[in-house]
A and B are shown apart, each in its own frame.
Chain A
Amino acid sequence: MSLRLPESLLLLSLGALFSHTLPAIAAEPEPATGSESTAAEPTAAESAAAKPPPRWTTLEQTIVLQPEQRQNAATGSVGNSVELQISSSGPSADEAMEIGIAVLDPGLAADSASNRKLGIFPEIREAEARYLPYALRRTLVDSNQWGAVRVLPELDPGYEVLLTGRILESNGATLSLQIQARDSRDRLWFDRVYTVVAEETAYLKTERRLRRPFQDLYNQLANDLLNYRQQLDDSELRNIHRIAAVRHAASLAPEAFAEYLELNQDGLFQLRRLPAREDPMMARIGRIREQEYLFIDTTDEQYAELYTEMTPVYDLWRQFLREQLSFREAWEARLATRDKPRSGSYQALKQVYNNFKWEKIQRQELQVLAEGFDNEIAPTSLVLEGSVVNLNGSLDERYREWRRILQQIYSLETGA
């Protein structure tokens, strides 16, 4: 499969930018919080443009979903026990928060030898780092509780809610993710480890059509996000919308929008004042933002294609991993009950060697399977516009280039 990135879109967007007038983002001119002071606070503005990536120090909760907790007692079937909270009417304007899900940190060890020891296959982890956010995105969209949900090639401060995370474990039987959710104020909603253990039957073909093996994890995460949002009142929701708009503007033109933001004593962003509804600069930013969304939505299609292509292979891979684990458990149980030959005898030495040999062969077969996985997934992620490049790297680069162009457009418009 060949993925096509929007090179033509860049040119189209430049033309569209000057021929359409999109509404400004700032809907209300009154200040939301803070004073009218215009004293320079460069740290807030600079932070708005380039906030460092989140650190993993504030873990507050670990959620483990075991199979036995998910059995349906009434029917005996193994359905999703964590029900996704779905809205039939959709969110209100204030509730329709835009969510950005950053590509996950794959959680690789520092060197290849350590990855081998930990049983991590780096190429597969890299693919999972892009695949799993899209699976979460689908769940959030299905919940009908939010505005646009997008997978982001890299962190973007202009989102009302930003999800970041890393893969702690993924071995077919267990999926464990550490996820942080923050809003545009930089307030941490939660920092949790979600661990889900798949049922034995989760990979059966008859079951596969009904649900994904780790769907409970996505459902739980989506519900947690919703629960947090429901604790916010309308003014807080509006404030988050406004700060996101201004932070996005500040990321494109920090010199123009520095004065609108400041950090409060808790280190959270707050508005010092808002641009006027008719502010021409804000209108320009609004137009640029719409163009940026167009770009992101196009890259989102790339993730969708990756997701569609990868799903059957990824299911197979996780199924193999699961089977290996089960087989190993059974083998170890047999080993424990087997009569031991006289220590040091040929039979004893042979048994020791064969145990080691079996373990080695298992590991090496897994490596072959991992290579088979890569052989199927690699073309999806590597071929762009007919040239062989890495999807991740390429998207990152293109995204950065796109934002650079947006800044140039803004400078041209304002004559800065």
Chain B
Amino acid sequence: MHRLSAILGLGLLAACAGSQAPLPSPIAAPAEPTQARSTDFAGHWEMDYSRSDNVDDKLQRLYREWQRAAERRANMDRRGQNNPAYAVNTNPRGFRSLLDVARLADLITSSQVLEIKQSDQDIEIQRENDFALSCVFTEGEPEIVVAELGAEICGWAGHQLVFRMQLPDGLDIVHRVTMSLDGERLHIATQVDSKSSQPFTLDRYYYRFDPLPDDYSCEYTLSRGNVCQSESP
């Protein structure tokens, strides 16, 4: 069992939301996390590949930055200058670790379709091939769940919904869910961090879609499985 204190978790959540940079258009900039305000995310969402990060492109960009930093570091070394600011960024093992968390970020944000169910009391984000992100809203307070294999905290930070998971080996995952002002686009910024790497953030964008109308209404039962009724007259 993880010994993660609720206070620490709350602090981390506030810090995480507070450090969020403004998001690109058409996503609205996040409000200050001073007052909880819920946004209705309910609906069906499909990934918008044209806007979403491509992990390879992002890694190449980071690699070029890392190379430039390494060259600057080499130049300074040749001139006998020593700037510790470049020490981390140019460490080959550091970039290897960043590659690892980037691969994981890609893996855990690969769901193409989301279905979000939301009420005044809770929200559930069902993701393809992954567990659902769920959160119970308790009077504006974040929900903290400490389980055997990891601790979770979720709640509102302004109109952003934040899910944070702290797992063994220092693995730290934060999903920040934001909606565009017109309610047609969804943005999920996922930051993955580990004890041996810098944090890596992957932005995924989704657009709303309406699923085909279903002629059947189904209800799951324990002994008979799905029991469906035709809704046609």
Contact = CB atoms under 8 A, between A and B. Distances in A.
A112 B194 contact: no
Contact of A353 (B132, B145, B148, B171): B171
- Of the candidates B132, B134, B143, B221, the one having the most CB atoms from chain A within 10 angstroms of its own CB is B221
A113 interface: yes
B165 interface: yes
Given A116-B145, A353-B108, A364-B131, A344 B223 contact: no
A316 B223 contact: yes
A352 B196 CA distance: 15
Contact of B100 (A112, A317, A344, A372): A344
Interface string B128-159: 00111010101000010111111000000000
Contacts of B173: 353
A371 B103 contact: no
B212 interface: no
A116 B143 CA distance: 11
Nearest to A332: B148
Interface residues of A, number: 33
Given A111-B138, A113-B136, A356-B150, A344 B169 contact: yes
Given A343-B196, A344-B196, A345-B100, A373 B167 contact: no
A343 B220 contact: no
A344 B195 contact: yes
Given A113-B143, A316-B222, A360-B131, A349 B149 contact: no
A68 to B, nearest CB: 26
A359 B148 contact: yes
Interface in A101-160: 111-113, 116-117
B197 interface: yes
Contact of B169 (A111, A348, A361): A348
B138 A352 contact: no
A308 to B, nearest CB: 14
A349 B223 contact: no
B149 A355 contact: yes
A376 B165 CA distance: 35
Interface string A339-357: 0000111101110110111
Interface magnitude class on chain B: 35 or more
B114 to A, nearest CB: 15
A376 B223 contact: yes
Contacts of B222: 313, 316-317, 320, 369, 372-373, 375-376
A346 to B, nearest CB: 4
Interface string B99-135: 1110110011000000000000100000000111010
B187 to A, nearest CB: 22
Contacts of B100: 344-346, 349
A346 B197 contact: no
Contacts of A359: 147-150
Q: Counting chain B CB atoms within 10 Å of each CB, which of A313, A317, A376 scores highest?
A: A376
Contacts of A317: 222
Contacts of A386: none
A112 B143 CA distance: 11
Contacts of A348: 169
A368 interface: yes
Given A343-B196, A375-B221, A376-B222, A352 B169 contact: yes
Interface in B163-178: 165, 167-171, 173
B104 A353 contact: yes
Nearest to A376: B221
A312 interface: yes
A267 to B, nearest CB: 41
Interface string B183-225: 0000000000011110000000000000000000001111110
A312 B224 CA distance: 11
A368 B226 CA distance: 11
A356 to B, nearest CB: 4
Contacts of B194: 344, 349
Contacts of A352: 167-169, 171
A343 B221 contact: no
A284 B180 CA distance: 73
A350 B149 contact: no
B52 interface: no
Q: Which of A116, A356, A368, A373 has the most CB of B within 10 A?
A: A356
A346 B194 CA distance: 10
B138 A113 contact: yes
Contacts of B149: 355-356, 359
A343 B195 CA distance: 9
A349 B171 contact: yes
B89 interface: no
B167 A356 contact: yes
A361 B131 contact: yes
Contacts of B130: 357
Nearest to B148: A359
Contacts of B197: 344
A316 B222 CA distance: 7
Nearest to A377: B222
Given A116-B145, A353-B173, 13 more contacts: A112-B138, A113-B145, A116-B136, A313-B222, A344-B194, A346-B104, A352-B168, A353-B108, A359-B147, A364-B131, A364-B132, A372-B220, A375-B220
Interface of A: 111-113, 116-117, 312-313, 316-317, 320, 343-346, 348-350, 352-353, 355-357, 359-361, 364, 368-369, 371-373, 375-376
